[in-house]
C-alpha cells in the first residue's frame, strides 16, 4: 500500500522497469496522495509506463492545494503508456494525462502490438474506472486507443462543471490531440472500447487522429453512451472521423451531442453495429454525416436524415473559437429537442430545459447569460431592448445621449431613450440625508460621497450602502452620518 496522507507529495519520475510499472507496480495495493503528484519520464518493457495497477489494486488521484496530478512522458512497450489498470480499479479526478505540471504537451506512449495492446495515456483491462474533469491529451499508441484503451472493462467519465474556471465554456472532460500512429491498423484516436461498457458525459473530444474512428471507436461487443459531448475536428484516414461503431453486438447511444467538422465522416457504422441519436447536431463533416439506416430523432443533421423531429438547418453556433458549438441567438435547435428527463443539465452545468423545451446539442441556450456577438451584453437584454444579438453595436449610441449602448446595458436603461440613464433624482435633508435614484431589479448599486468635487477627490462608501439590489423604481439610499456642511454623492451600478 502507498498511502501518502495529508499533503505529502508523490514524485515518480525517470525510472525504468524490465517488466511492468516503470514508476510503480502495484499488486493488492492502494495508491493515494493528498499532495502534489507527478508521474513522468518512466519506461516499462511491459505495461504501465508510469504506473501498473494489478490484481485488485486501487489508484485514487485527485487535486490538492499543490495542484492537479500529472501523468506525462511515460512509455510502455505493451499497454498503458501512462497508466495501466489490470483487474483493478481507478478513480481519477482533475488529472492531466499527457500534460506536464506546467500544462505543456508531454505525451505518454504505448508501443503495443497488433495482438490488442493499446492505450497511449490510459489502459483499462478487465477493470473499473471513474474519471471526473480529466484531460487526456497528446498521447500516442501504435495500434489501439491513442488516448484511452478500454478492454473488457467499465469506464464512467463524468463532469463536475462547478469546478470549471470562471468564463470557461468548454466541457470539463477533454480528450484531445491523441494519435494512433499505425498506418494499416490504427483504431480509436481518442478512445477505443472493446467488450466494454463506457459512459462519457460532459466531454470535449477534439483533434484526435486514427485510421478508423478518429475521436471514439467502439468494437463488439460494447455498449457506449455519450451525453453532452462535443466531438469536433477529429480525423480518420479511412472512416469514422468523429465516431465509429463496429460489430453486431455493439450499441452506441448519443444524447445531446454535437458531432461537427470531422474528416472522413461524422458517425460511421459498420458490420451490423447499432447507433441511435437523440437531440444531437451533426454537420460539416467531410464525406457522410451519419451512416444510413439508424435511429435518429429530434436532431439537426446536415443534408437531412429520416426520423421524428429531425431538421436540416444552420444551428447558428457562436464559434468564439473553433471548439465553441454553443447555440447562438435564434438557433433553430433551441427548444426543439425531445424531452430527456434524465439529462438535467448541459455540458457546463446549465439546467435543462432552460426555455420552453430541450435544446439540441451539447449546450442549453440561456439568453440571460449568453452573449452571441461577444460584446459583453447578454442576448436577452439586447433582444428586449431592440438590439440585434448578432451585430456588434456595444459602442453605438442609438439615442444620442452621453451613454454608449454598453453603458446602457450596465445601467439596464433604454438605449433608445435619451432620458433613460442612471441618474440621481433627489437628495433630501433631514435627520438623515436620503439620496434617490432610478434603479433596476437586475442591477446592484453603491452610494459614495466626497466633501469636495475636485479632480483628486476621494470617494468613500456611505455606511453600508454597498451591493444594493434595485427595486425597479426610485431607490432611496440613506446617509445616516451625513456631515453638517456640503457633501457630494455618486451612485455606481454593476451587473451582478
Reported as a single tens digit per residue, the pLDDT across 84-123 is 999 999 999 999 999 999 999 999 999 987 778 999 999 9
- The answer to whether residues 388 and 473 belong to one domain is no
- The region that residue 263 occupies, defined by phi over 0 for left and psi between -120 and 50 for alpha, beta otherwise, is beta
Residue 110 has a pLDDT of 97
Question: Could you give the count of Cα atoms lying within 13 Å of 355 in the half-sphere of its Cβ?
Answer: 22
Nearest to 215 by CA among 201, 232, 199: 232
Residue 39 has a pLDDT of 97
Residue 370 forms part of a structural domain: no
Q: What is the CA radius of gyration of the chain?
A: 28
Q: Band the pLDDT of 385: cuts 50, 70, 90.
A: very high
Nearest to 193 by CA among 256, 244, 139, 138: 244
- The answer to whether residues 406 and 436 belong to one domain is no
Q: Which of 242, 275, 301 is the last residue of a domain?
A: 301
- The answer to whether residues 264 and 403 belong to one domain is no
Residue 190 forms part of a structural domain: yes
Pairwise CA distance, residues 304 & 115, whole Å: 40
Tell whether the model's pLDDT for residue 312 goes beyond 90.
yes
- The answer to whether residues 251 and 213 belong to one domain is yes
Tell whether the model's pLDDT for residue 5 goes beyond 60.
no
Nearest to 233 by CA among 254, 205, 257, 201: 205
- The answer to whether residues 77 and 226 belong to one domain is yes
- The answer to whether residues 398 and 475 belong to one domain is no
Tell me the mean pLDDT in the region 415-429.
96
Nearest to 352 by CA among 278, 231, 225, 256: 256
Read off the pLDDT of residues 245-267 as tens digits, 9 standing for 90 and up: 999 999 999 999 999 999 999 99
- The answer to whether residues 469 and 384 belong to one domain is no
Residue 308 forms part of a structural domain: no
Residue 2 has a pLDDT of 56
- The answer to whether residues 385 and 478 belong to one domain is no
Residue 252 forms part of a structural domain: yes
Pairwise CA distance, residues 273 & 337, whole Å: 25
Residue 7 has a pLDDT of 57
Range of the domain at 437: 424-494
- The answer to whether residues 25 and 161 belong to one domain is yes
- The answer to whether residues 117 and 179 belong to one domain is yes
Tell whether the model's pLDDT for residue 342 goes beyond 90.
no
Nine-digit cell string for 186: 490504427
- The answer to whether residues 225 and 98 belong to one domain is yes
Residue 479 has a pLDDT of 96
Pairwise CA distance, residues 256 & 171, whole Å: 13
Per the structure, the count of domains in the chain is 3
Residue 438 has a pLDDT of 95
- The region that residue 373 occupies, defined by phi over 0 for left and psi between -120 and 50 for alpha, beta otherwise, is alpha
Report the Cα–Cα distance between both ends of the chain, in Å, rounded.
49
**Contact indicator for 217, 188 with CB cutoff of 8 Å:** yes
Give the mean pLDDT of the chain: 95
Q: Band the pLDDT of 475: cuts 50, 70, 90.
A: very high
Residue 354 forms part of a structural domain: no
162: DSSP letter? G
Q: Where are the alpha helices (DSSP H) in 55-122?
A: none
- The answer to whether residues 176 and 46 belong to one domain is yes
**Contact indicator for 280, 256 with CB cutoff of 8 Å:** yes
The four Cα atoms 471, 475, 477, 478 give a dihedral, to 10 degrees, of -110
Tell me the mean pLDDT in the region 115-140.
96
Nine-digit cell string for 377: 451584453
Amino acid at each position: 500500500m502507498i498511502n501518502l496522507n495529508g499533503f505529502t507529495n508523490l514524485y515518480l519520475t525517470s525510472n525504468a522497469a524490465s517488466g511492468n510499472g516503470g514508476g510503480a507496480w502495484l499488486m493488492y495495493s492502494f495508491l493515494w496522495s493528498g499532495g502534489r503528484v507527478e508521474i513522468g519520464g518512466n519506461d516499462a518493457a511491459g505495461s504501465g509506463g508510469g504506473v501498473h495497477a494489478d490484481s485488485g489494486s486501487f489508484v485514487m488521484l485527485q487535486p490538492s492545494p499543490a495542484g492537479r496530478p500529472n501523468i506525462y512522458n511515460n512509455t510502455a512497450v505493451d499497454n498503458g503508456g501512462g497508466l495501466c489498470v489490470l483487474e483493478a480499479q481507478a478513480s481519477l479526478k482533475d488529472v492531466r494525462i499527457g500534460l506536464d505540471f506546467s500544462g505543456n504537451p508531454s505525451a505518454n506512449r504505448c508501443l503495443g502490438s497488433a495482438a490488442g495492446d493499446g492505450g497511449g495515456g490510459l489502459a483499462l483491462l478487465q477493470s473499473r474506472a471513474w474519471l471526473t474533469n480529466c484531460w487526456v491529451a497528446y498521447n500516442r499508441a501504435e495500434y489501439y486507443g491513442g488516448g484511452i484503451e478500454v478492454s473488457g472493462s467499465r469506464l464512467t467519465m463524468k463532469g463536475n462543471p462547478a469546478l470549471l474556471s470562471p468564463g470557461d465554456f468548454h466541457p470539463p472532460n477533454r480528450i484531445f490531440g491523441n494519435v494512433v500512429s499505425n498506418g494499416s491498423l490504427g483504431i480509436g484516436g481518442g478512445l477505443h472500447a472493446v467488450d466494454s461498457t463506457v459512459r462519457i458525459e460532459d466531454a470535449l473530444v477534439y483533434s484526435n487522429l486514427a485510421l478508423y474512428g478518429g475521436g471514439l471507436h467502439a468494437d463488439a461487443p460494447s455498449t457506449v453512451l455519450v451525453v453532452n459531448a462535443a466531438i469536433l475536428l477529429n480525423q480518420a484516414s479511412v472512416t469514422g472521423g468523429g465516431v465509429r461503431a463496429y460489430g453486431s453486438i455493439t450499441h452506441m447511444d448519443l444524447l445531446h451531442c454535437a458531432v461537427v467538422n470531422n474528416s472522413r465522416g461524422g458517425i460511421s457504422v459498420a458490420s451490423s453495429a447499432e447507433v441511435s441519436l437523440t437531440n444531437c447536431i451533426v454537420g460539416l463533416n467531410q464525406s457522410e454525416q451519419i451512416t444510413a439506416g439508424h435511429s435518429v430523432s429530434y436532431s439537426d443533421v446536415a443534408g437531412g436524415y429520416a426520423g421524428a423531429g429531425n431538421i436540416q438547418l444552420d444551428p447558428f453556433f457562436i464559434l468564439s473559437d473553433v471548439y465553441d458549438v454553443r447555440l447562438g441567438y435564434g438557433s433553430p435547435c433551441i427548444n426543439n429537442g425531445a424531452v430527456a428527463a434524465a439529462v438535467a443539465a448541459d455540458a457546463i452545468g446549465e439546467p435543462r430545459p432552460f426555455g420552453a423545451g430541450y435544446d439540441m446539442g451539447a449546450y442549453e441556450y440561456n439568453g440571460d447569460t449568453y452573449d452571441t456577438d461577444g460584446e459583453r451584453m447578454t442576448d436577452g437584454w439586447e433582444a428586449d431592448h431592440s438590439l440585434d444579438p448578432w451585430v456588434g453595436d456595444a459602442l453605438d449610441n442609438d439615442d444620442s445621449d452621453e451613454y454608449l449602448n454598453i453603458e446602457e446595458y450596465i445601467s439596464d436603461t433604454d438605449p433608445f431613450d435619451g432620458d433613460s440613464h442612471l441618474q440621481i433624482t433627489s437628495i433630501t435633508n433631514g435627520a438623515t440625508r436620503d439620496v434617490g435614484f432610478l434603479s433596476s431589479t437586475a442591477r446592484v448599486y453603491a452610494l459614495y460621497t466626497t466633501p469636495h468635487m475636485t479632480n483628486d477627490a476621494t470617494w468613500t462608501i456611505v455606511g453600508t450602502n454597498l451591493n444594493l439590489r434595485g427595486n425597479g423604481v426610485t431607490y432611496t439610499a440613506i446617509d445616516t452620518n451625513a456631515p453638517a456642511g456640503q457633501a457630494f454623492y455618486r451612485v455606481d451600478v454593476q451587473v451582478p
